[in-house]
Amino acid sequence: MKVKIGVSVRHVHICEKDFKYLFGEDATLTFKCDLSQKGDFSCEQTVTLKTDKNEINNVRILGPFRDKTQVEISKTDSYILGINPPIRDSGDLDGSEKITLCHKDKYLNLNEGCIIANRHIHMSERDSFKLGYYNNQKVKVKIKGEKSAILENVSIKVKDNYSLELHIDTDDANATLVNNGDICEVIENE
């Protein structure tokens, strides 16, 4: 099975309450562009990620609002920030890393919410039936090229409106010289 690759740069999913605290009661998520998964979009708003050691500016907020604020960074980012976020599925935030979000003079201290996202493949229910995969199944993907690799522990994520796409972070992408929109192959079920 061939699958398109989406490279996830560090970003923030935010709950409405946290957003209003940072940007003001009257602020709303400002649409910048659509993302590949239907309904997801990139916002004009960005925040600064801050820790005791360092900070990273211009980190994009993605919409729509989530129930809980979630910060996704790479291992490389975690070294810059001096923190140790766990490898997690999106939404699985219990006991994850603490981090501070800043916008202008507003500082929001999160006791948890920072993760490194698991490699995962978005798949519609229709595709999962047709192709023979199931939710939370672990597969491997083969990436070709000068720094070719087989990435393991890739989770299949099935939801009705998902478009078929592998999501990897910038560390995986840069290690294998992958660009957004490149194609990989799912080579094996586990």
Which residues lie near a copy of itself (CB under 8 A)? Answer: 74-76, 79, 87, 119, 146-153, 169-172, 174-177
Joined tokens for residue 127: 């595709």
Residue 64 is classified by DSSP as: S
Minimum distance between the CB of residue 188 and a copy of itself, rounded to whole angstroms? 11
Nearer to a copy of itself (CB atom), residue 103 or residue 119 = 119
Cβ 177 to a copy of itself shortest distance, Å: 6
User: Least distance to a copy of itself from the beta carbon of 86, Å?
Assistant: 8
Residue number with CB closer to a copy of itself (81 or 151): 151
Q: Which is nearer to a copy of itself, 103 or 157 (CB)?
A: 157
For strands 149-158 and 120-123, give the pairing. Answer: parallel
* Shortest Cβ 148–a copy of itself spacing (Å): 4
Shortest Å, Cβ 118 to a copy of itself: 8
CA distance linking residue 45 with residue 41, whole number of Å: 12
Rg from Cα positions in the chain: 17
| Cβ closest to a copy of itself, residue 125 vs residue 152 | 152
- Residue 75 corresponds to which tokens in the numbers above? 């291992």
Contacts of 129 (CB under 8 A, 6+ apart): none
Q: Which of 148/189 has CB closer to a copy of itself? A: 148
Question: Rounded to whole angstroms, how far apart are CA atoms 169 and 180?
Answer: 11
Cβ of residue 173: shortest distance to a copy of itself, in angstroms? 8
Query: Among 90, 169, 156, 84, which Cα is nearest to 127's?
Result: 156
| 3-state SS, residue 53 | coil
Nearer to a copy of itself, 96 or 176 (CB): 176
Backbone dihedral region of 129: left (phi > 0), alpha (psi from -120 to 50 degrees) or beta?
Answer: alpha
Cis peptide before 64 (omega within 30 of 0): yes
